[in-house]
Amino acid sequence: MAPRLTVQVLLVLQALLREPGRELYGLELTEETGLLPGTAYPILLRLENQGWVTSRWEDVDPRVEKRPARRYYRLTASGALQASAALAGARRPRSTALRGLAGEGGMA
């Protein structure tokens, strides 16, 4: 089942799709999308439950790194395909609508 494609979901997908193989952790993702972590987290959880995204804990020693381990997210192969399709689908109606408006303007 596809997730509900809200603007926030599309922003997350867009950030993850920028470099599909690259893993992003929470803070990076919030910086790239401009979303607050409280908004981004449920979206990532939902995308992960639906198999679009996969995640893993960073394997570091917090005492050595002097920071807690990060959780990295990346798109799965099928998730990347579905996300590209979803983003393309989301862009299309807007451009169609704009063309329609331009057409109406031209008629007047």
Partner 1 sequence: MPRILPEIVPDSRRRARYRRASLITVVLINLGIAVHIEFFGWVKPDGMSYVADGFIFAINVGVVHYGWRAHDGFLVRPARPVRLVRPLRFLRRGGGGAAHGRGPAARVTSGPVIAGRWPALRPVSRLMPGPMGRRWLAEAQSLLAEADAGQRRAAARSYLRSAPRLILIMWLAELSRRARRHLR
* 34 lines the binding site for partner 1 (CB under 8 A): no
Is residue 22 left, alpha or beta, with left meaning phi > 0 and alpha meaning psi from -120 to 50? Answer: beta
> What's the Cα-to-Cα distance from 91 to each of 14, 33, 75, rounded to whole Å?
12, 17, 20
Beta carbon nearer to partner 1, 49 or 96: 49
- Give the nearest distance from C-beta 45 to partner 1 in angstroms: 8
Strand order in the sheet with 53-57: 24-25, 71-75, 53-57
Among 18, 67, 91, 99, binds partner 1 (CB under 8 A): 67
DSSP 52: S
Beta carbon nearer to partner 1, 72 or 90: 72
Q: Which residues bind partner 1 (CB under 8 A)?
A: 25-27, 30, 36-39, 41-42, 45, 49, 57, 61-63, 66-71
